[in-house]
Amino acid sequence: MDQYVAWFLLICPLAATIAILVRWHKVPNYAIGASIGSSVLCFLIAVAVFCGAVPAPVSFMWIDLPGFQVDFSMILDPLSKGMLLVVTGVGMLVHIFSYGYMEHDPSKGRFFGGLSIFMFSMTGIVLSSNLIMLFIFWEGVGFSSYLLVGFWYERESAALAANKAFVCNRLADFGFMTGILVFWFLMGTVSVEPNVLAGVYSQHAMPWMGSILDNNSVPVASGQSASVATQLGVHANPILLAIMVVGLFCGCIGKSAMFPLHVWLPDAMEGPTPVSALIHAATMVAAGVYMLCRVFPLLLLSDAGMTVIASIGCLTSVMAALIAVQQNDIKRILAYSTLSQLGYMVMAVGCYAPDAAMFHLSTHAFFKALLFLAAGSVIHALHEEQDIWKMGGLLRKIPLTGITFLIGMLALSGVPPFAGFFSKDYLLSLCYARSPFFYTVGVFTAFLTAFYMTRLVVIAFFGKARTKEAEHPHESPWHMTTPLVILAVFSCIGGFIGLKGFYNGWSTSVVQTIKFVTPFPVGESGVFMEMILPMCVVLLGIGCAWALYHDAKTDPLEGGIFRILANKFYFDDIYDTYVVGTQQLVARSFAWIDSWIIDGLIIRGAAYVCVGFGELLRLFQTGNLQAYAYVFTLGGLILIYFTLFH
């Protein structure tokens, strides 16, 4: 019996979705009950799983062909248990929050259906033990995101944003699927359990080595340090390994909105705020980082690939932070902040520190969800106002929301003793071991983070109300503020509950299973680098923002470089030009060729040639008896001539 309990993690949300799809979208109370009930049940099961009370369930074979087996089984190691708690916990709180937030929406049944299918897919990602199963649920979260971002579909902007999110994810999945295929091509399996991979690595002859680009014996010249792949015993062409790693990373680029596919995340704020909290802050975008941690043994096989990962993570984090400095919509600021923090996590994975990435992922889930839900509370209080320059003085008017938002902001900025301080500084110190360059950029990003978050808080929560509407906000009901308080508590204590040790234990066991040794010397960065420098930088950021925005009527940073930041480095414009200019142009020219040349010239042309022949031959049917007699005689003479003289 025990063996089936874990499957309920997937069955409950799926059952809720089906019930809502078939019948209950018309009966919102049942829909809400089913959805919230299933999320609570999943959380309880996740707690049981975490405590070890639930064993890994029996698996069943999904595709069984010679050379290609995919089974549906779950992997319950510390990585998935921790992530499961985060996902189900934050999910449950967002479900409860949505009950209040969506109260007045006529389609709330459909909303909760979307939330349930999302929980099903996200839980599936966390529990997958092989890349095909992961890919299936991966597409599932992409689909749920499409449904929820385009929830208010009457708005053209929401429909466009939903399409953009799905297409960006699809484009990234192109790379992801390529990576999975190359992985299977090289190793003959799609499973990512560390034991299986260790077994595959230790075979010196790989079962499915790439025949064309194969590079069989890679002699290591003396004095040259062996690549990690050779160290692990994997002999395959480095180019193929790099393609595999970059391909797998492409999935993360799409899902976690890394440069250059980051453009869908800010637009995805068109969805209701609980969606932004759950999907685009705490869980779905974190799925990319989770996936990287899950396939970490594979990423190790290409040093070039790891460098690419770390660089893109670093670039995204600083670029998004710069853009956030000049945004004025509260949800967009938080969206770019999410991008920036995800960049941190990806950078950490690229710096051979997946445990730091997971630690930061967990704390980030708490305070980012808190920030988004509190923002939702603010938006709800001000009747759908999202521009921070139209807020002001909210801390005094809606203190509970204000204080929880402040806690979230301090945690995000990395102020001790809040959770963000521990995770961010641990992450940065490990990155320093890999490359001081990444560390420096990371510290600069921390400065920017403190800066723009303080800017947001000062403009929206301090000072005087800037507009009439902002003078009378109403506090949200208890079922909306309770999740805020719970998340605020976790943002406070997150650094002390042992997450760091928990994930460190997991990553140590993985590297031991595959026998990996860090290729670069791990030095102690020292207390100064690890704690004091970042803290000074954060305080500097807070101070600068306070000085600039305290009592400011408009934004003092204008013009020049700040306009570039406000326009998000013109990425959206570049992509729009590409889509309209190149893609549509190609499509229209092909369509022209199809209708004029293939259809017109060749097919109708052939038809007209036939018709033409017919018209020509018809001329011979004169209907005139003399003409026929003439031709008949002529034919007869020709026949006689040939018979007699040849």
Partner 1 sequence: MHISPLLFLLLAPLLAIFFIILLKSQPRLTALCAAAFNFVLSLVLIFGYVNANVHGGYAFIMDIPWVTIHGIPPIHFHLAVDGISLPLVLLTGIVTFAAIAISPGNIRRASEYYCYLLLMTMGAMGAFISLDLFFFFIFHDFALIATFLLIGIWGSHNRQFVSFQVTIYLMAGSLVLLAGFVALVTALPEHSRTFDIVALTQYIVGDGTYAHQAHPLSAGAQAVIFPLMLVGFGILVGLFPFHSWAPPGYASAPPAAAMLHAGILKKFAIYGLIRIAIPLLHTGFQDWLPVIFALLIGNFLYAGFVTMAQKELPLMIGFSSIMHMGYLFLGMACWNVIGLTGAVVLMVGHGLSAALLFGLSGEITTRSGENRFAELGGLAKRAPMLAVLFSFASMATMGVPGLANFAGELLVFFGSFARHAPLQPDLPIPIFILFALIAIYGTVITAIFQLRAIKYVFYGPMPERYQGPPTAVAATAVLGGAEPETVPSTGMSDTKTWEEHGPYVLLVVASLVIGFMPFLLINLIEPSVQLLPFLPK
Q: How far is the CB of 331 from partner 1 (least distance, A)?
A: 21
Site for partner 1 in 14-33 (CB under 8 A): 21
> Which H or E run contains 217?
none
Q: Which is nearer to partner 1, 173 or 425 (CB)?
A: 173
Q: How far is the CB of 221 from partner 1 (least distance, A)?
A: 27
Of 150-158, 286-294, 375-383, 396-404, which part binds partner 1 (CB under 8 A)? 150-158
- Phi and psi at 68, nearest 5°, equal -140, 100
Alpha helices in 550-604 (DSSP H): 561-566, 571-577, 584-592
Residue 184 near partner 1 by CB under 8 A: yes
Residue 386 near partner 1 by CB under 8 A: no
Of 424, 410, 414, 542, the closest CA to residue 488 belongs to 410
Kindly state the tokens that stand for 25.
Answer: 């979208």
Would you give the DSSP letter of residue 463? S
Residues 115-144, one symbol each (x = binds partner 1 by CB under 8 A, - = not), give -----------------x--xxx-xx--x-
Residue selected from 23, 594, 596, 632 as contacting partner 1 according to rule CB under 8 A:
594
Residue 204 contacts residue 231 (beta carbons within 8 Å): no
Residue 629 near partner 1 by CB under 8 A: no
Displacement of CA 315 from its chain's centroid (Å):
16
Q: How far is the CB of 164 from partner 1 (least distance, A)?
A: 9
Kindly state the tokens that stand for 427.
Answer: 């992450």
Residue 7 near partner 1 by CB under 8 A: no
Residue 487 contacts residue 372 (beta carbons within 8 Å): no
Q: How far is the CB of 391 from partner 1 (least distance, A)?
A: 29
The widest CA-to-CA distance across the chain, in whole angstroms, is 122
Residue 599 near partner 1 by CB under 8 A: yes
Of 77-85, 301-309, 599-607, 615-623, which part binds partner 1 (CB under 8 A)? 599-607
Distance of CA 452 to CAs 70, 285, 455, Å? 46, 21, 5
**Residue 152, CB half-sphere, CA atoms under 13 Å: how many?**
13
Give the E-state strand segments of 148-294 in sequence order: none
Q: How far is the CB of 549 from partner 1 (least distance, A)?
A: 38
Residue selected from 44, 586, 634, 638 as contacting partner 1 according to rule CB under 8 A:
586
DSSP 273-342: HHHHHIIIIISHHHHHHHHHHHTHHHHTT-HHHHHHHHHHHHHHHHHHHHHHTT--BHHHHHHHHHHHHH
Whole-angstrom distance, CA of residue 574 vs CA of residue 254 = 18
Q: How far is the CB of 595 from partner 1 (least distance, A)?
A: 9
Size of the site for partner 1 (CB under 8 A): 58
Q: Which is nearer to partner 1, 547 or 586 (CB)?
A: 586
Whole-angstrom distance, CA of residue 306 vs CA of residue 328 = 35
Q: Which residues pair with residue 227 across a beta bridge?
A: none
Whole-angstrom distance, CA of residue 523 vs CA of residue 161 = 45
Kindly state the tokens that stand for 334.
Answer: 């938080």
3-state secondary structure of 110: helix
Site for partner 1 in 206-265 (CB under 8 A): 208-212, 214
Residue 566 near partner 1 by CB under 8 A: no
Q: How far is the CB of 67 from partner 1 (least distance, A)?
A: 6
Of 151-159, 193-201, 299-307, 437-445, which part binds partner 1 (CB under 8 A)? 151-159
Residue 163 near partner 1 by CB under 8 A: yes
Residue 573 near partner 1 by CB under 8 A: no
Residue selected from 2, 51, 66, 216 as contacting partner 1 according to rule CB under 8 A:
66
Q: Which is nearer to partner 1, 211 or 554 (CB)?
A: 211
Residue selected from 51, 52, 104, 154 as contacting partner 1 according to rule CB under 8 A:
154
Residue 185 near partner 1 by CB under 8 A: yes
Kindly state the tokens that stand for 111.
Answer: 């909303």
Residue selected from 3, 215, 508, 584 as contacting partner 1 according to rule CB under 8 A:
584
Q: Could you list the residues that contact partner 1 (CB under 8 A)?
A: 21, 61-68, 132, 135-137, 139-140, 143, 146, 150, 153-156, 158-160, 162-163, 166-167, 170-171, 173-174, 177-178, 181-182, 184-185, 208-212, 214, 583-584, 586-588, 590-591, 594, 598-599, 602-603, 607
